[in-house]
Amino acid sequence: MTSRNLVKLFWNTLLVGGITTAIVGLFVRWHELQPFFADFKIIDIISAIVWLIVMGFLFSVISQMGFFAYLTIHRFGLGIFKSVSLWNAVQVVLILFGLFDLVYLRYSNFAKSGDPLLPFLVPALLLAVVSLVVAWLKSKETNRDAFIPALFFMIVATLVEWVPVLRINSSSWLYTMVIALLACNAYQILVLHKLNAKSAQERQQKKIQNANKAPEHQKKKVKKSTV
Residue 221 predicted with pLDDT over 80 = no
- State the chain's mean pLDDT as an integer: 86
Distance (Å, whole) CA 147 – CA 52: 32
Distance (Å, whole) CA 168 – CA 162: 11
pLDDT at residue 215 in the model: 58
Distance of alpha carbon 23 from the chain centroid: 17
Distance (Å, whole) CA 179 – CA 7: 23
37 close to 84: Cβ distance less than 8 angstroms: no
pTM, entire model: 0.86
pLDDT tens-digit readout, 56-111: 999 999 999 999 999 999 888 888 888 889 999 999 999 999 999 999 888 888 88
pLDDT tens-digit readout, 179-218: 999 999 999 999 998 888 888 887 888 788 777 776 555 5
Residue 160 predicted with pLDDT over 70 = yes
pLDDT at residue 179 in the model: 94
Give 47-54 contacts, CB < 8 A, sequence gap 24+. Answer: 49/22, 52/21, 52/22, 52/25, 52/26, 53/18, 53/19, 53/21, 53/22, 54/18
pLDDT at residue 186 in the model: 96
